[in-house]
């Protein structure tokens, strides 16, 4: 449905990650290999952290492959942690407020996949969003509602728990409406320090997700690659679909798992949604 | 905040109403005289009826004054009943799904004004929208929610009653949250046969609204005007702000009133919101 | 590079041709089968004739597959002759003034293909455009310049001759700059009565082009198809790539040929560019 | 027609100059006081210098006043030298390639005003542009052609001479076509080190232009202003129309003059166009 990328490590110019590699994310907007859709031309977004407390977000409804402003910005913005997303819309309008990543305070959130039967359960979901957060929902995308559900369930305190509760809630509501497999996809979220990346689907057959091996290992394997020499040892890319031409560089995230990357050490753990404590109304 | 125009009568090319007159609606997008804002450059929309059962809608986020597609379409589309709207956004994003007119089935709806304190009461309002209609809300504009409230309250059966109940509900919810004057504005809605145009504000100082005098009278007054000779006797324009250069052509809609125009005869009646039967939760 | 479609016949709603058929032009914007590029997402355009002397043109930089306005207009505009084009940009910006069809007076012009080495010869070409036409060039696309060259060479009087001279001129100028195969593509042009469709490339390996067999023959073959029963006997579609699911419906235009369709009878003739009389400066 | 702003000095966040001041350039996009047009809503552009050799450029066709991406970028990009421009289109399309500032290599160029009779002399002008530069012209704006004329006449070596020759050439060609006052406006250009700002019109009644007094003087006058304390002593703003609320802060550029700001010292000199040496062909 979409393709996304998350980077954490020493600061790099966005263009070195978004444009320079073979089969880059920008190429994937036009010709994805692993995506459910080969074209991801319904807008894009970039969110990045710098010295200011709140991340910057640049989103557009144009296809990424021919967008001069994205190319300009990628050549001039450096960041130690950024998200990028190219969108294939399913169901909701092509408009900036439906483009990922979504932002709330210091948090960014993006998704590749969908909430099945979203129209039928959207009302249940938005009613569960905390009243104080409700006015912050600007668009109509399932992902944005999922983000505000996760925020309602404590994303800022315990991201894996909040995402597990949000997806558990979506599954409960969906199944109550007769949807067999309510959730599908991969999610990335960050507070600007760590990146949490999830791979899960109700049907147990989730959209692909990959992350890079340790940079020191890659440097040995590909000593001629300049980018590998430049970035810090703890740099990581997490992607829907491998970029570049380094076959040994990628580890596939297992089905029903999540990873934590960035400051404070890395972990790869299993993931299971947490159903709501009580039966749905 | 916005400027709008509704036409009903014998079919005319949209351009004869939208572009040709002095101080046309398109001019008002750049230089309004009576509007709360002089510039209405945050998108526009046109909705028109022809032989197909559902009206066509063309909406764009570009300023109307320089939009080549609108100019093209206006020169090629004839209609016996159409709405046009130029927007000055307050609070909600500049995106097509926030542009007026809004459409549901055969119905169109547009508004100049605002729901004061909308962020605070939006949740109350959307929860009141009928569950079957809820998924149809595509944007985030106060007007769209008002439209779906009116549909929930029976717009298709009794438009004045439904609009009175929708505004009454908005006022009740707003006042419960401490908003002194929750509703402001003028509204037009149509089923493709009649046009209902409302002028009302909680503070009793509503946005301007005008409609044209009887065409036979105007023809006598301005015998040289070709458009007046072309259109049918029952043609009417309803506008936020007079267009053209015919000083005697316009009647101001009184404060707290509504008019019915089009098939089935015309009426001008007083308007009062209908508060919800029970106290708010 | 692009996909296009021309229709002439009894008036039909655009949507019946643009959206309804299997593998429609709108589908081809996302998934072309025969195109040099599978995605044609860099804008689109429609030009149509009605009672007004000058055709209407609606062009947008958004991908056609998700453009709500195009869908609306196609459902409300009927025409007896129209062009539609979905674009895959190569080299020039994604902007309305680069979208096909181009219009001058009553004439429309569109193209699938390219002028090779255009940057190198563009100056030569625009200098050859008649001085009175020069200010009408609004964009930077090779096709627009080709159109104004053809107009300079008498498109309004003898379209096949003018197109042959325009392409001949492009080839002469290109070869003078060392370009082996300066022209590639298919072209359609119309004055609102007849459609001229050309298939030619300097290398003798041109982009695909098809037209429909006689409607009475198709009606016999596919008696259950409603659209075939509705349209006039002389209706024709000319397309870059077949639409619909009627395998026997299409005739491939031969290499280096052109066809004339519409009022005044049909012809299929061979095509050869006409080099300029004198050696290039 | 337009409003523009140039900053040179110690690095500042763009937002502190573009958004924070009272009556900022962004406000002027909606409500200019001194402009020939009060609304400058036909797109905008920002060009900025950082560590990379070529400046970044972000241009959009949306009105600046409601553009979320501009607001985002302005809050995250710091620069020691940047240009910003809000456009009121006259004659040429609202498209990114017509938005200022224009860029060539390290150079930026922007303009408030117009070339009178541009359609009539455009051909003469573009033919004079150096052949190697000709393919770089991407849009249809008079300013872009003026920029490439100035580059042809040696902008990179002697900016005041090149601009004087470009305007002189425009005046000669315009007068040869019967245009009384061919040039009007203010121009800013930069190589990333110095800013050259010109005020001139053929009629001797030029669009307004202002620059800031010495920062140390302003600091004494307005000791409470944080921005004044932050920026370097040599910081300068050059603007079409004063921003902020510091009445004593602005010096009006005299009629027919130019200023040089930035590295290498400042100068204020008189300006006169240089007519071409020979009579026009």
Beta carbons of C264 and C193 less than 8 angstroms apart: yes
B176 contacts: CB under 8 Å, gap ≥ 6: B280
Q: With 90 as the cut, is the pLDDT of residue C189 above it?
A: yes
pLDDT one-digit tens code per residue, D70-124: 999 999 999 999 999 999 887 788 999 999 999 999 999 999 999 999 999 999 9
| Interval A2-18 mean pLDDT | 94
| Interval C234-247 mean pLDDT | 91
Q: With 80 as the cut, is the pLDDT of residue B49 above it?
A: yes
Run of H or E including C227: helix C226-230
Is the minimum CB–CB distance between C60 and chain B shorter than 8 Å? yes
Beta carbons of A108 and A215 less than 8 angstroms apart: no
Neighbours of C54 (CB within 10 A): 16
B16, B99, B276, C96, C110 from B73: Cα distances, Å? 12, 17, 42, 15, 20
Residue C244 and residue C20: Cα distance in Å, rounded? 8
Is the minimum CB–CB distance between B134 and chain A shorter than 8 Å? yes
Among B13, B68, B76, B192, which would you mutate to test the C interface (most chain C Cβ atoms within 10 Å of its Cβ)? B76
Sign of the CA dihedral running D172, D175, D179, D180: positive
CB-CB: which of B97, B127, B135 is closest to A93? B97
- C184 secondary structure, DSSP code: E
Is the minimum CB–CB distance between D177 and chain C shorter than 8 Å? no
CB-CB: which of B48, B60, B73 is closest to C56? B73
Nearest-by-CA chain C residue for A67: C94
Side-chain-facing half-sphere of C273: CA atoms under 13 Å: 23
B86 Cα to chain D: minimum distance (Å): 14
Instruction: Quickly list DSSP for D117-167.
Output: THHHHHHHHHHHS-TTTGGG--S--HHHHHHHHHHHTTTTT-HHHHHHHHH
Roughly how many angstroms between the first and final C-alpha of chain B, as a whole number? 32
Contacts 24+ apart (CB under 8 A), A177-183: A177/A117, A177/A120, A177/A121, A178/A117, A179/A116, A179/A117, A179/A120, A179/A121, A180/A116, A181/A116, A182/A115, A182/A116, A182/A117, A182/A121, A183/A113, A183/A115, A183/A116, A183/A273
- Helix then strand count (H, E) for chain C reads 8, 13
| CB contacts, 8 Å: A115 with chain B | none
Q: Any idea how long chain B is?
A: 281
Q: What local confidence, expressed as pLDDT, does residue D280 receive?
A: 47
pLDDT one-digit tens code per residue, B136-166: 999 999 999 999 999 999 999 999 999 999 9
Q: What local confidence, expressed as pLDDT, does residue B226 receive?
A: 85
Nearest-by-CA chain B residue for D88: B66
| CB contacts, 8 Å: C41 with chain A | 30, 39, 41, 63
Nearest-by-CA chain C residue for B51: C76
Residue D253 and residue D241: Cα distance in Å, rounded? 11
Higher pLDDT, A91 or C221: C221
| CB contacts, 8 Å: B93 with chain D | 68
Is the minimum CB–CB distance between A93 and chain B shorter than 8 Å? yes
C50 Cα to chain A: minimum distance (Å): 31
Beta carbons of A65 and A29 less than 8 angstroms apart: yes
Between vectors from CA D9 to CA D6 and to CA D15, what angle results, nearest 5°? 60
- D256 secondary structure, DSSP code: S
Predicted confidence band at C1 (pLDDT cuts at 50, 70, 90)? low
**Which of B79-113 are b and which e, b meaning 16 or more Cβ less than 10 Å from the residue's Cβ?**
bbbbbbbbbbbeebbbbbbbbbbbbbeebbbbbbb
Is the minimum CB–CB distance between B69 and chain D shorter than 8 Å? no
Beta carbons of B167 and B273 less than 8 angstroms apart: yes
Q: How far is CA A71 from the centre of its chain?
A: 20
| Interval B89-116 mean pLDDT | 93
Instruction: Quickly list DSSP for chain A.
Output: -EEEEEEEEEEEEHHHHHTSSTT-HHHHHH--SSSSSS---S-EEEEE--SSSSPEEEEESS-GGG-HHHHHHHTT-EEEEEEEEEE--SSS--SGGGSSPEEETTEEEEEEEEETTHHHHHHHHHHHS-TTTGGG--S--HHHHHHHHHHHTTTTT-HHHHHHHHHHHHHHHHHHTT-S--EEEEEEEE-SSEEEEEEEETTS-PPP-EEEPPHHHHHHH-TT-HHHHHS-TT-EEEESS--SS-GGGEEEPPSSEEEEEETT--EEEE------SS---
Beta carbons of C228 and C217 less than 8 angstroms apart: no
Residue C84 and residue B48: Cα distance in Å, rounded? 23
Q: What local confidence, expressed as pLDDT, does residue C155 receive?
A: 98
Beta carbons of A157 and A129 less than 8 angstroms apart: no
Beta carbons of B109 and B101 less than 8 angstroms apart: yes
Is the minimum CB–CB distance between C39 and chain A shorter than 8 Å? yes
CB-CB: which of A30, A61, A62 is closest to C39? A30
Is the minimum CB–CB distance between C131 and chain D shorter than 8 Å? yes
CB-CB: which of B48, B50, B76 is closest to C50? B76
| CB contacts, 8 Å: C127 with chain D | 127
Note whether B135 contacts A126, CB cutoff 8 Å.
no
Is the minimum CB–CB distance between A73 and chain D shorter than 8 Å? yes
Is the minimum CB–CB distance between B213 and chain A shorter than 8 Å? no
B37, B161, B190, B200, B202 from B114: Cα distances, Å? 13, 20, 20, 11, 11
Is the minimum CB–CB distance between C76 and chain B shorter than 8 Å? yes
Name residue A136's beta-bridge partners.
none
Residue A31 and residue C38: Cα distance in Å, rounded? 9
Is the minimum CB–CB distance between C91 and chain D shorter than 8 Å? no
Q: Check whether the bond before B21 is cis (ω within 30° of 0).
A: no
C62 Cα to chain A: minimum distance (Å): 7
pLDDT one-digit tens code per residue, A218-268: 999 888 888 888 899 999 999 999 998 888 899 999 999 999 999 877 899
- Nearest Cα to Cα of residue A147 among A167, A118, A168: A167
Q: Which residue has the tokens 């449905």?
A: A1
Predicted confidence band at A281 (pLDDT cuts at 50, 70, 90)? very low
Q: What local confidence, expressed as pLDDT, does residue D279 receive?
A: 53
Beta carbons of A106 and A54 less than 8 angstroms apart: yes
Note whether D123 contacts C138, CB cutoff 8 Å.
no
B16 Cα to chain A: minimum distance (Å): 32
| Interval A131-136 mean pLDDT | 94
**Poorest-pLDDT segment among B33-42, C14-23, C213-222:** B33-42
Name residue A78's beta-bridge partners.
A13
CB-CB: which of D39, D89, D93 is closest to B41? D39
Residue D243 and residue D249: Cα distance in Å, rounded? 10
Contacts across the B-C interface (CB distance below 8 Å): 39
Instruction: Quickly list DSSP for D165-177.
Output: HHHHHHHHHHHHT
Strand D183-190 with D107-115, pairing: antiparallel
C181, D101, D201 from C203: Cα distances, Å? 6, 41, 52
Note whether D69 contacts A76, CB cutoff 8 Å.
no
Beta carbons of C11 and C29 less than 8 angstroms apart: no
CB-CB: which of A56, A60, A68 is closest to D73? A56
pLDDT one-digit tens code per residue, B212-264: 999 999 999 888 888 888 899 999 999 999 998 888 899 999 999 999 999 87
Run of H or E including C127: helix C118-128
Residue A94 and residue A98: Cα distance in Å, rounded? 7
Strand D56-60 with D78-87, pairing: unpaired
Neighbours of D265 (CB within 10 A): 9
Between vectors from CA C266 to CA C234 and to CA C200, what angle results, nearest 5°? 120
The complex's ipTM? 0.92
Q: How far is CA D112 from the centre of its chain?
A: 7
| CB contacts, 8 Å: C66 with chain A | 42, 89, 94
| CB contacts, 8 Å: C102 with chain D | none
Three-state secondary structure call for residue B118: helix
The mean of the pLDDT values for chain A is 93
- Nearest Cα to Cα of residue C42 among D65, A64, A232: A64
- Nearest Cα to Cα of residue A112 among A90, A135, A79: A90
C30 Cα to chain A: minimum distance (Å): 7
Q: Which residues of chain D have pLDDT under 70?
A: 1, 278-281
- State both tokens at C111: 């193209």
Note whether B62 contacts D93, CB cutoff 8 Å.
no
Three-state secondary structure call for residue B38: coil
Q: What local confidence, expressed as pLDDT, does residue A74 receive?
A: 96
Is the minimum CB–CB distance between A66 and chain C shorter than 8 Å? yes
Q: With 80 as the cut, is the pLDDT of residue C37 above it?
A: no
User: What percent of chain A is modeled with pLDDT above 90?
Assistant: 78
pLDDT one-digit tens code per residue, A147-194: 999 999 999 999 999 999 999 999 999 999 999 999 999 999 999 999
Note whether A122 contacts B138, CB cutoff 8 Å.
no
Is the minimum CB–CB distance between A94 and chain C shorter than 8 Å? yes
Instruction: Quickly list DSSP for A155-178.
Output: TTT-HHHHHHHHHHHHHHHHHHTT
| CB contacts, 8 Å: C63 with chain A | 41-42, 63
A161 contacts: CB under 8 Å, gap ≥ 6: A153, A154, A274
Residue B112 and residue B114: Cα distance in Å, rounded? 7
Note whether B66 contacts D42, CB cutoff 8 Å.
yes
Note whether C30 contacts A39, CB cutoff 8 Å.
yes
């Amino acid at each position: 449905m979409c393709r996304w990328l998350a980077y954490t490590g020493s600061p790099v110019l966005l263009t070195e990650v978004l444009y320079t590699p073979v089969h880059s994310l920008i190429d994937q907007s036009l010709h994805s290999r692993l995506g459910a859709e080969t074209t991801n031309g319904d807008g894009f977004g970039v969110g990045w952290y710098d010295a200011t407390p709140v991340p910057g977000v640049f989103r557009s409804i144009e296809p990424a492959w021919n967008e001069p402003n994205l190319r300009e910005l990628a050549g001039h913005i450096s960041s130690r942690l950024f998200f990028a997303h190219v969108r294939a819309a399913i169901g909701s309008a092509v408009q900036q407020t439906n483009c990922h990543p979504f932002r709330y305070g210091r948090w960014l959130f993006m998704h590749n996949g969908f909430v099945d039967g979203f129209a039928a359960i959207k009302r249940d979901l938005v009613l569960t969003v905390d009243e104080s957060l409700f006015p912050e929902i600007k668009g109509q995308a399932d992902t944005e509602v999922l983000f505000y559900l996760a925020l309602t369930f404590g994303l800022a305190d315990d991201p894996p728990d909040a995402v597990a509760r949000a997806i558990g809630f979506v599954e409960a509501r969906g199944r109550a409406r007769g949807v067999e497999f309510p959730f599908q996809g991969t999610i990335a979220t960050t507070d600007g320090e760590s990146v949490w990346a999830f791979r899960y689907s109700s049907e147990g057959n989730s959209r692909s997700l990959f992350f890079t091996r340790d940079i020191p290992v890659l440097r040995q394997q590909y000593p001629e690659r300049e980018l590998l020499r430049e970035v810090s040892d703890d740099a990581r890319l997490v992607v829907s679909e491998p970029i570049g031409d380094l076959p040994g560089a990628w580890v596939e995230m297992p089905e029903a798992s999540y990873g934590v990357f960035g400051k404070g050490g890395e972990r790869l753990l299993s993931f299971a949604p947490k159903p709501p404590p009580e039966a749905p109304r």
